[in-house]
Amino acid sequence: MATTTATTRKSSLTETSFWQRAAVRRNLSAYAFILPFMALFVIFNIGPFFWALWLSLLRGDLVDQVKPFVGLQNYLSLTTDDITLKVFLNSLQYTVSVVPIAVITALALAFLIGNKLVRFKDFYRAVVFFPLLASAAATAQIWSYILAPRYGVLTYLTGLLGIPEIYWLSDPDWALYGILLIEWWRGIGFHIILFLAAMLGVPEELHEAARIDGANAWQVAIKVTIPLMRPVILFSVVMGTIWAFQLFDTVFVLTNGGPVHATATMVWYIYNHAFRYGQVGMAAAMGVVLLLIIMPISYVQMRVLGER
């Protein structure tokens, strides 16, 4: 808008009033431009948000006309229930495992592709993008065959190395890591591509300078390249954490929370309690807890996005 005022000031007096009136008219029309978006936004975002908060104070089935008000009872039940405790632990264990693993392996792979001996970097960028294209459901189907006991390819290959057979998706001790393996494959490209872009943006002179000062390749990476990539790494960690806490699709398709709740996540809990078990209040309360976890993490994401 600053430019508009600048231009209007330059024009003659009669023109000024003409442009100003026209500008007021145009600005009023802004409401017409935002109307379709705002209507849908209020109906499907703002409204549901407050409704969800209210639902977390009620008890009842999804379709019950009258749901009795129970205050904070649902939240208290969350703290005493065995399954919810398991769900929190699963989500936490999954997140603190998958995020560091994904970020560190992605950094290593970005350094590999970014190596100056590598020609056709765009090709490798495309290759790591491929897993991002498939739906979680398709990926789950692909990997359930690869991870299948006995005749699965991975099972066979690890068998050749003498590693005892792992029941990736049916052993309660391993199932969460089976899911982690699949999700790692599915999401790693995101981190690699972000890191690669940041890495190739580091000015060559900085590397040269460090080299002249006698630093070896490892030292250049640790002391020069990685510190300069810090904002991007932060963004990656934040996004990875947000996704990890919202893990659902893969679990739903492959294990449906089992075996014995080994892969039951927070969103799995919300879906099942709302749409299967007729406990909308508990589901909404879990949703609010998820919000309280995601909110501070997302705040960082918003700041990073805002800086772009």
Partner 1 sequence: MTQFKFNGNWRKAIRVLPQAVIVYLLLAALVILMLGPYLYIFSSSFKETYTLISIPPQLIPEEFVWDNYSYILTELPFSLWFFNTILVALLVTVGTVLIDALAAYAFAKKQFWGRDFLFGLMLATIMIPGALLLIPAFLITNWLGLLNSYGGLIIPGLANVLGVFLLRQFMQTIPEELEHAARIDGCSDFGVFWRIILPLSAPALATLSIVVFTSQWNNLVWPLVVLNDKDLYTLPLGLALLRSEFQVNYGITSASAFLSVVPLVIVFLFLQRYFLEGLTVGAVKG
- 302 binding partner 1? (CB under 8 A): yes
Cα four-point dihedral sign 294, 296, 299, 300: negative
- Chosen residue from 101, 103, 134, 224 binding partner 1 by CB under 8 A: 134
Contact between residue 4 and residue 23 where contact means Cβ atoms under 8 Å apart = yes
Residue 253 interacting with partner 1 (CB under 8 A): yes
> Is there a contact between 112 and 188 (Cβ–Cβ < 8 Å)?
no
Residue from 106, 107, 152, 174 that binds partner 1 (CB under 8 A)?
Answer: 152
Q: Look-up: residue for tokens 């070896």?
A: 216
Out of 190, 229, 263, 264, which residue is the one contacting partner 1 (CB under 8 A)?
Answer: 190
Nearest distance in Å: CB 274, partner 1: 5
Q: Is 125 in the site for partner 1 (CB under 8 A)?
A: yes
- Among residues 16, 17, 46, 85, the one that binds partner 1 under rule CB under 8 A: 46
206 touches partner 1 (CB under 8 A)? no
Write out the binding residues for partner 1, residues 64-123 only, by CB under 8 A. 109, 112-119
Distance (Å, rounded) from C-alpha 93 to C-alpha 62? 30
Q: How far is the CB of 167 from partner 1 (least distance, A)?
A: 15
Binds partner 1 (CB under 8 A): choice among 171, 242, 258, 278 = 242
User: Does residue 224 touch partner 1 according to CB under 8 A?
Assistant: no
Q: What are phi and psi of 10, to 5 degrees?
A: -70, -30
Using the rule CB under 8 A, which residue among 57, 98, 251, 280 binds partner 1? 280
Q: How far is the CB of 196 from partner 1 (least distance, A)?
A: 10
What b/e string do you get for 296-306 counting C-beta neighbours within 10 Å, with b at 16 or more? eebebbeeeee
Q: Looking at 198, 233, 264, 270, which residue binds partner 1 (CB under 8 A)? A: 270
Torsion of the alpha carbons at 135, 143, 259 and 81, rounded to the nearest 10: -30
- Which residue's CB is nearer to partner 1, number 176 or number 244? 244
- By CB under 8 A, the count of residues binding partner 1 is 113
Stretch that binds partner 1, among 48-56, 76-84, 94-102, 170-178 (CB under 8 A): 48-56
The stretch among 72-80, 90-98, 162-170, 252-260 that binds partner 1 (CB under 8 A) is 252-260
Residue with tokens 């998820």: 290
Q: Write out the binding residues for partner 1, residues 16-45 only, by CB under 8 A.
A: 22, 25-31, 33-34, 36-38, 40-41, 43-45
DSSP state of 69: B
Contact 279, 78 (CB under 8 A): no
Question: Token pair of 58, please?
Answer: 């009620």
C-alpha neighbours within 13 Å on the C-beta side of residue 122 = 0
